[in-house]
Amino acid sequence: GGFALSANASTETASRSADDSLVFDPEGYTQLTATVTDTDGTEHEVKYRFWKAITYVSKPVDEKYQSLNVSVPVEIDGKAVDVSNAPILFANTVGGYLPSTVTEATGVGASGLPVGGGGGAPAGGGTTSAGPAPSASSSAPGANENTNANGGALNTNQYLALGAGYVVVEPGARGRTLKDSSGEYYGTAPAVIVDLKAAVRYVRANKGRIPGNVDRIVSAGTSAGGAVSALLGASGDSKIYDKYLKEIGAADASDAIFATGAWCPITDLEHADGAYEWNWGTNKLKAGDQVDQTVSKALQAQFAEYQASLKLKGLNRFGLLTARNYDEYLVKQYLEPSATKYLTALPDSDRETYLAKNTFITWSGGKATFSWADFLTHVGARKKTVPAFDAFDLSAGENNEFGAGTTESRHFTAYSAKNDSTGLNSKRVASDIPEKLNLLNPMFHLERRNPGRSKHWWIRLGTNDTDTSHVVSANLAAAAKGLGDEVNHLYYWDQGHGANTDPGDFITWIAKVTG
Ligand code: DHB
């Protein structure tokens, strides 16, 4: 990789230190117009300044990914916008732990993939729009795609934020499939979080030059992007990333963020196989097949041990969360309120139709009640086989995320290493894996009460999402709440992977917590 300063050589003096390349140029924008449709259907014309493909580190490994875009509203419906104290939405574009790039974007909404309803790439730098509540992709990206399958959900947040007068920063980041000419993987763990932290540091180091309030950064992301958003929130200013940040020439500044938005975070990966079986163990695969119940039961036992070790209390004075009571907790804290909210919003006749089709729900006094077993039946097919994340045959995307050197995919749990089916000599995880797991896990930082963490959490998950266990989000919420943080966590009824059905509420929440 080269140095980032060459692109600006014509406007700057020739000899500059590496760090000078990390100075934001307030004049380096183009002006664009976007039509933002609010969630109530109102259209707003937003004139905004767009800074494109700014390399955010002084020693980039791959500038295609280690660069960010900035969008700053200057006029909304003809009225000037004062962004001097505006929150900054830091919307990552990560999906599938794959590489994500914003360098091709022609305007706000970096990934530019029109997945779902609203999020579309602006045509020729022209008009963009955000429809109300698009449901994003339901399929995990293929192994070698470097695009973001969650574009719809992500873009909606960006457009609405711009329309609300916020600054929007969209960083790219290295991802698991990147391989150099000598066959070395350079985007596997912890590259994604190191890059996002470097991007936050770039923003904070440019306080006074970059528009908006750099002490009010609100991170957002979906799925793997939700995982790294949560990680960014939990790990603020942690020292364990220092050597990696130094290597790529990250700016010398805080990487703590103010608030965290995470949709369907695919995180706590080393415990996700057990959590998945605890949740979906008896649900059949789409093909109607039951997964190996011996393996499923062994993993469930591991989950019980892990959950007990967390000593987390449920929200609303539920008490200690265990593998024995977590079903009751999910039903009472999240699932019944989710169904109740959904059914309450329906016109009477639609609600009656829904209840007639879904007789497992008891509707009484304006509230939905049902059993966990019936809920599992209602969701139906599980998406993933067993183990869901550390596959015995190394075929999961997460195996690739923990690849290193010239090895594409590796085991990251003792159980799957022991049960490896690919003929590996070693039946153990490699010696560097424990450190990589910590670097990638928000729970690691929350368990250690990291003082630099974000103190505000917006967490969302579709009730039909079987990409991971429902306990992953709930544990994240319980851990943050247990530290005294403000937590806003809801499940979207009958929604699948990547859903974002209350984006307007997220924008309002940002105003509330940052104000
Ligand atoms: C994503 C989905 C998955 O099922 C997974 O294991 C990792 C990432 C995603 O959509 O980003």
- Alpha-carbon distance 470 to 231, whole Å? 18
pLDDT at 124 over 50: no
pLDDT at 441 over 60: yes
Which atom of ligand 1 lies closest to the CA of 223? Answer: 11
* pLDDT at residue 110 in the model: 63
Mean pLDDT of the 300-306 span: 98
- Alpha-carbon distance 93 to 229, whole Å? 10
CB within 6 Å of ligand 1 — which residues?
A: 95-97, 140, 149-150, 223-224, 266, 397-398, 467
Percent share of the chain, pLDDT over 70: 88
Would you list the DSSP string of 264-284?
S----HHHHHHHHHHHHTTSP
Return the bridge partners of 489, or none.
Answer: 459
Q: Could you tell me if 234 and 442 are in contact, meaning their C-beta atoms sit under 8 angstroms apart?
A: yes
* pLDDT at residue 19 in the model: 63
Mutate to test the pocket of ligand 1, among 223, 276, 466, 497 (most ligand atoms within 8 A of CB): 223
pLDDT at 442 over 70: yes
Q: Could you tell me if 52 and 36 are in contact, meaning their C-beta atoms sit under 8 angstroms apart?
A: no
- Alpha-carbon distance 232 to 195, whole Å? 11
CB-based burial label for 438 (10 Å; 0-12, 13-18, 19+): middle
Q: For residue 264, report the distance from its CA to the centre of ligand 1, in Å.
A: 9
Quick: pLDDT tens for 411-428: 999 999 999 999 999 999
Name the closest-CA residue to atom 8, ligand 1.
96
Name the closest-CA residue to atom 1, ligand 1.
96
Q: For residue 95, report the distance from its CA to the centre of ligand 1, in Å.
A: 7
Which atom of ligand 1 lies closest to the CA of 398? Answer: 6
pLDDT at 105 over 50: yes
Query: Lowest mean pLDDT: which of 33-37, 128-132, 500-504?
Result: 128-132
Indicate the pairing of strand 43-55 with strand 67-76.
antiparallel
- Name the pLDDT band for 6 (thresholds 50, 70, 90): very low
* pLDDT at residue 10 in the model: 34
Residue for token digits 């608030």? 259
Name the closest-CA residue to atom 5, ligand 1.
96
DSSP 8-state assignment for residue 332: I
Least Cα distance to 271 among 444, 142, 465 occurs for 444
- Name the pLDDT band for 463 (thresholds 50, 70, 90): very high
- Alpha-carbon distance 284 to 440, whole Å? 30
CB-based burial label for 48 (10 Å; 0-12, 13-18, 19+): buried
Q: For residue 140, report the distance from its CA to the centre of ligand 1, in Å.
A: 5
- Name the pLDDT band for 350 (thresholds 50, 70, 90): very high
Buried b (16+ CB within 10 A) or exposed e, 277-307: bbbbbebeeeeeeebeeebbebbbebbeebb
Which atom of ligand 1 lies closest to the CA of 149? Answer: 10
Mean pLDDT of the 135-156 span: 39
- Alpha-carbon distance 510 to 162, whole Å? 12
Q: For residue 472, report the distance from its CA to the centre of ligand 1, in Å.
A: 13
Q: For residue 267, report the distance from its CA to the centre of ligand 1, in Å.
A: 9
Whole-angstrom CA distances from 304 to 309, 323, 443, 471 are 9, 5, 16, 12
Q: For residue 266, report the distance from its CA to the centre of ligand 1, in Å.
A: 6
- Name the pLDDT band for 466 (thresholds 50, 70, 90): very high
Q: Which residues contact 27 (CB under 8 A, 6 or more apart)?
A: none
What's the mean pLDDT when you consider all of the chain?
90
Name the closest-CA residue to atom 9, ligand 1.
96
- Alpha-carbon distance 257 to 201, whole Å? 10
* pLDDT at residue 256 in the model: 98
* pLDDT at residue 20 in the model: 76
* pLDDT at residue 21 in the model: 86
Q: Could you tell me if 198 and 248 are in contact, meaning their C-beta atoms sit under 8 angstroms apart?
A: yes
Name the residue type at position 205: A
Percent share of the chain, pLDDT over 90: 86
- Alpha-carbon distance 479 to 427, whole Å? 33
Mutate to test the pocket of ligand 1, among 94, 97, 269 (most ligand atoms within 8 A of CB): 97
Mean pLDDT of the 485-489 span: 98
Mutate to test the pocket of ligand 1, among 266, 280, 386, 398 (most ligand atoms within 8 A of CB): 266
- Alpha-carbon distance 514 to 166, whole Å? 11
Torsion 92-112-469-490 (CA) sign? positive
Mutate to test the pocket of ligand 1, among 467, 469, 470 (most ligand atoms within 8 A of CB): 467
Q: For residue 129, report the distance from its CA to the centre of ligand 1, in Å.
A: 26
Which atom of ligand 1 lies closest to the CA of 497? Answer: 10
* pLDDT at residue 109 in the model: 87
- Name the pLDDT band for 155 (thresholds 50, 70, 90): confident
* pLDDT at residue 5 in the model: 29
Mean pLDDT of the 452-456 span: 98
Buried b (16+ CB within 10 A) or exposed e, 204-213: bbbeeebbbb
Q: For residue 136, report the distance from its CA to the centre of ligand 1, in Å.
A: 13
* pLDDT at residue 405 in the model: 98
Model ipTM value: 0.99
* pLDDT at residue 112 in the model: 43
Q: For residue 163, report the distance from its CA to the centre of ligand 1, in Å.
A: 29
Structure-model confidence comparison of residues 235 and 3, the more confident one: 235
Mean pLDDT of the 435-443 span: 99
Quick: pLDDT tens for 273-286: 999 999 999 999 99
pLDDT at 57 over 70: yes
Quick: pLDDT tens for 304-342: 999 999 999 999 999 999 999 999 999 999 999 999 999
pLDDT at 365 over 60: yes
Q: For residue 398, report the distance from its CA to the centre of ligand 1, in Å.
A: 9
Q: What are phi and psi of 5, to 5 degrees?
A: -80, -15
Q: For residue 157, report the distance from its CA to the centre of ligand 1, in Å.
A: 19
